Structure formats: C-alpha cells, structure tokens
C-alpha cells in the first residue's frame, strides 16, 4: 500500500518516540495535525509525479492485491521484516514494553493503543487513565438502541446485529448534525473525532448486550463502571468480569488486532464509505458487514471448528505424526488449513507469536488440550504446507490461536468471535477516518479497466 512509501517520507519512527503529557487526546491531536497537514502539502507539491508502483493485469483481476494506492499511516505491514507489523514505527514487543497497561495488569490496553494510532505518540499512564475515564463516561447505550437490539431475533447473526446497532447510533452523530448546519472543512476532523470516540466508547455495551441477548436469554448486565478501562467493562458487561485472565487476554488481543494497514476489506470499506463524508457510524457499520465475510473476520471461528474436529478424531493420541496425517487428510480433501497463510506477511504473524507467548506464561493454558494442539500444529503445519507447495506463506496468522484461547476461557460461542474482532478493529479504522478528515482526503473514485478491449487491441486476445 502507498502508506509504506509515505511512512518512510514522514519519519514516523521518530514521531513514535515522543511521549505525550497529560493533555487530552483532542489537545494532543490538535498539536500533531498541522505538521501532518504541512507534510501532505509538501508531498503533493514536490512528489506528486513520483511513481510508487506498476499496475499489472494480475492486480486488476487479483483483487488489487499488493497495489499501492492508499494513504494509511497508523500501521505498516512488511512481509520481509521479522517483526511483520509496526504501529507508528513500534513493533508489537515495543508496544508491550512502552504502552501503559490497566492498573494491576500487564497487557496493553485499548486506550493506549488508540492514543498511539491517533497521534503517533506514546501516552503517559496519567493520559491513558484520563482517556479510560472519558470513554467510560460515554459508554452507556442510548435507550432507543437498547430497544432496537433487544427487539432483534436471537437467530440473527451477532455480526448483523452489531452492524445494525452501530448504524442506528448515527442518530446521535455530531458530525452529521454539524455538517447539515454548515461547518468549515478545516473543522470536519473535530466533529468526526467526537463521533469516533463516542462509538468506540459504546461498542463494549452494544457488543455485550448482543451477547447476552443471543446466548444468555437477555440476562441483565451491570452498569458501565466509570473506573474500568474499555475492555475491563466489556468483559464485565458480558458477564466475565471475574475472569481476570480472560480480561487480560482480550486487552492484548483487542490492542494488537486494532489496526492492520488500510487495505484489508473492513478498514478499506470504512475508508471508502468515510470518503463520501458519511458519518463514522455509517462508515464503520459498513466496515463491520465487510468483516462478517468468511474470507475476512469469520476465519477465527473456522480455525477453532477445524481444531476441535481434529482433537475429536485424534482423541488423547495427539502426536506430531498424527497431526501431520490429519493435515494431509485436510489438504487432500480439497480444503485449506485454516489459520495458516496471510495476504501480505510471509513469516509467522507477530500477533500469533504474542498470543502464543501469553499462553506460555499461564500454566492453565499450557495444560489445555486445545492450546497444546495449537502449539503442536504450529510445529508441524509449516513443513506440511511447504511440501504441499500450493501456499505462498506456510506460517500461522493470528486466527490460528485467537479463538482457541477464548474457547478455553469459557467463551465457547463461535459465531460471536467476529464481534470481538469488530470491537478491536474500530481502533484503527476510526482513527484513520479522523485523519482523512484532518488531511482533507478526497472522495475515493478509482478508474475501471476495460480489459477485454485493451487486451484485444494490444495482444489480440
């Protein structure tokens, strides 16, 4: 993506080392925006004719894969770098070391990652706590959304319900109301930021209400706790507040899953719809429906389903050879091995490694047959897939581990897993929507290629 080129031009690695004070997130962002606006101005004035890549027929007919055509600075994927992904210059281990955790916790929390993604700065602990309080105070669902979600049939997929709820929240969009009354273009980002923070704040209550309606017969949830962080409230609202290990796991998962470049289907959808000046609620609801597809966000539930089927067939006789035989059985039946391969990365997904390290630090997870199977599969699968020869990347992605840990902790409802993904991916998609408005990015409108005519004229095909 174009962000790889731009990120080098703007020296984001240097930016990421600055530490924020206890200013509010909006105040910190207000200081960063003018410099970025000037950088973009210089980029357009001095480098607008620079060629950043070739467009080949394989790009057009191959889902635009690898095409550098978007401005997206929050995260960068590098298929050849060991760390794989960087958030404003910081690797996942860097983030684990530098970003504040929850009081008494060890893992990154969503608020500190949100601050980094939005400003390029590492927040102080005081600033992170302040942001947690701000989000908690905005975290209650409006009554009209509660009634809407409660009225949906439990048979409707949880992701469909999440998209419906998010879209309905646009009733409260401050951006939409301000735009209708007339505001300066330079102020678009301020109203967009208000909507984005309100949406991120309300997602735990919305997602938890859907969980309780579908799987707990509409059991009442506790009120939002103004002293908890975003994920602490999320697990409490679902009914898992007493499970501290699950809360810590979801803090890590949601933080490192929050952004993954802008070219993936959900992030790109948010960017595209947002470019029409649709409010953040509409833009992100569209992103959620993209995320609901089986080639995107549903992958983690497919991995777990496959792992449990293998566990059932192998029983207690889980050896490397038996796993190898099962892998070949899967491949020879014409199926793929879920959880392996990645659209960009060509090494083990660093998010998978982070989740594996989380498991290695907890004796109960190390004893879990499901987690043991994940670990042993990781030791066997790359060799089998390499020998099979039909995959560019035989290494695991984050989905190879994520759902299995949720299952171990008692969150066994497969269909709900993508909702958690949807809560996490809001961090990146919405922060970049703020930046799209701050930088005045235009309506996205690519040109279609009439290949049949061009190929006939040039090659006689």
The token duo for 95 is 């983030």
Active site residue: 342, 360, 364, 408, which one? 342
pTM recorded for the entire structure: 0.90
Inter-axis angle of helices 417-438 and 399-408, to 10 degrees?
Answer: 130
Contact by Cβ (8 Å): 223, 158: no
* pLDDT value of residue 458: 62
Per-residue pLDDT tens for 407-460?
A: 999 999 989 999 999 999 999 999 999 999 999 999 988 877 766 656 566 666
The sign of the CA dihedral 164, 397, 404, 385 is positive
Q: Are 247 and 235 in contact (CB under 8 A)?
A: yes
CA distance to 334, 371, 395, 408, 417, per residue, from 311 (Å): 20, 11, 21, 14, 20
Does 296 qualify as catalytic in the annotation? yes
Query: How many Å apart are CA 435 and CA 249, to the nearest integer?
Result: 29
257 is catalytic: no
Q: Which two tokens stand for residue 263?
A: 């070219």
Residue of 296, 320, 325, 388 marked catalytic: 296
Predicted local confidence at residue 12, as pLDDT: 39
The two tokens of residue 292 are: 């609901």
Contact call for residues 231 and 110 (beta carbons, < 8 A):
yes
Q: Give 24-86 as a DSSP string.
A: -HHHHHHHHHHHHHHHHHHHHHHHTT-------HHHHHTTTTT-------SEEE-TTSTT-EE
Helix axes 25-47, 2-9, angle to 10 degrees: 100
Query: Can you read off the two tokens belonging to residue 319?
Result: 């050896």
Query: What separation in angstroms does the CA of 352 have from each of 92, 224, 403?
Result: 11, 31, 11
- In this structure, what DSSP letter does residue 169 have? G
For CA atoms 373, 375, 378, 379, give the dihedral sign. Answer: negative
* Burial class (CB within 10 angstroms; exposed 0-12, middle 13-18, buried 19+) of 174: middle
Q: Give the pLDDT confidence of 352-394 residue by residue, as tens digits.
A: 999 999 999 999 998 998 899 999 999 999 999 999 987 778 8
Exposure letters 411-430 (e unless 16+ CB within 10 A, then b): bebbebbbbbbbbbbbbbbb
Rounded CA-CA distance 439/284 in Å is: 19
Backbone φ and ψ of 310, nearest 5°: -65, -40
- Bridge partners, 85 (sequence order): 77
Q: Where are the beta strands (DSSP E) in 81-145?
A: 85-87
399 part of the active site: yes
Q: What share of the chain is helix, strand, coil (3-state, %, to 5)?
A: 60, 5, 35
Q: Specify the pLDDT at position 56.
A: 81
Q: What is the pLDDT along the chain (461 residues), one digit of tens a residue?
A: 434 434 433 433 444 344 445 789 999 999 999 999 999 999 989 998 988 888 888 877 777 877 788 788 889 888 777 678 999 999 999 999 999 999 999 999 999 999 999 999 999 999 999 999 999 999 999 999 999 999 999 999 999 999 999 999 999 999 999 999 999 999 999 999 999 999 999 999 999 999 999 999 999 999 999 999 999 999 999 999 999 999 999 999 999 999 988 888 899 999 999 999 999 999 999 999 999 988 887 777 788 889 899 999 998 888 999 999 999 999 999 988 888 877 667 677 889 999 999 999 999 998 998 899 999 999 999 999 999 987 778 888 888 888 899 999 999 998 999 999 999 999 999 999 999 999 999 998 887 776 665 656 666 65
Neighbours of 245 (CB within 10 A): 15
Domains for the chain: give ranges and CATH numbers.
299-408 (1.10.230.10)
State how far the Cα of 397 lies from the Cα of 297, in Å rounded to an integer: 12
Q: How far apart are CA 437 and CA 186, in angstroms?
A: 8
Q: How far apart are CA 60 and CA 271, in angstroms?
A: 20
pLDDT of residue 9: 39
Nearest to 203 by CA among 177, 171, 169: 169
Q: Which of 427, 449, 356, 437 is nearest to 185 (CA)?
A: 437
């Amino acid at each position: 993506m174009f962000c790889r080129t731009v990120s080098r031009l703007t020296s984001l690695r240097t930016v990421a080392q600055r530490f924020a004070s206890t200013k509010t997130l909006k105040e910190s962002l207000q200081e960063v925006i003018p410099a970025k606006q000037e950088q973009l101005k210089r980029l357009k004035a001095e480098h607008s004719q620079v060629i950043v890549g070739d467009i080949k027929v394989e790009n057009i007919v191959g889902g635009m894969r690898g095409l550098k055509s978007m401005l997206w600075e929050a995260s960068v994927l590098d298929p050849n770098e060991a760390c794989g992904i960087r958030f404003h210059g910081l690797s996942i281990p860097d983030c684990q070391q530098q970003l504040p955790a929850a009081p008494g916790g060890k893992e990154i929390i969503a608020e500190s990652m949100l601050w980094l993604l939005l400003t390029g700065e590492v927040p102080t602990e005081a600033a992170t706590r302040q942001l947690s309080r701000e989000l908690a105070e905005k975290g209650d669902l409006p009554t009209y959304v509660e009634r809407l979600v409660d009225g949906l049939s439990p048979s409707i997929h949880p992701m469909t319900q999440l998209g419906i709820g998010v879209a309905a929240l646009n009733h409260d969009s401050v951006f939409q109301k301000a735009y209708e009354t007339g505001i300066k273009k330079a102020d678009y980002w301020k109203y967009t930021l208000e909507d984005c923070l309100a949406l991120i704040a309300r997602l735990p209550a919305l997602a938890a209400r859907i969980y309780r309606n579908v799987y707990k017969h509409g059991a009442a949830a506790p009120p939002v706790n103004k002293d908890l962080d975003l994920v602490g409230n999320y697990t409490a609202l679902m009914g898992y507040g007493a499970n501290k290990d699950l809360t810590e796991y979801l803090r890590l998962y949601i933080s490192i899953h929050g952004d993954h470049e802008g070219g993936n289907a959900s992030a790109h959808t948010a960017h595209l719809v947002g470019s029409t000046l649709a409010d953040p609620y509409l833009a992100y609801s569209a992103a959620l429906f993209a995320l609901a597809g089986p080639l995107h966000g549903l992958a983690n539930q497919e991995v777990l389903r496959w792992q449990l089927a293998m566990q059932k067939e192998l029983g207690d006789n889980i050896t490397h050879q038996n796993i190898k035989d099962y892998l070949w059985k899967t491949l020879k039946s014409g199926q793929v091995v879920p959880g392996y391969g990645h659209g960009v990365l060509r090494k083990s997904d660093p998010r998978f490694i982070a989740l594996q390290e989380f498991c290695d630090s907890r004796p109960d997870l190390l004893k879990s047959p499901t987690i043991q199977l994940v670990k042993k599969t990781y030791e066997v699968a790359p060799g089998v897939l390499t020998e099979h020869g039909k995959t560019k990347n035989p290494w695991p992605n984050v989905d190879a581990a994520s759902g299995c840990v949720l299952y171990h902790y008692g969150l066994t409802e497969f269909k709900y897993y993508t909702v958690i993904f949807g809560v996490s991916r809001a961090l990146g998609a919405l922060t970049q929507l703020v930046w799209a408005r701050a930088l005045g990015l235009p309506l996205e409108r690519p040109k279609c290629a009439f290949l049949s005519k061009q190929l006939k004229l040039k090659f006689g095909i």
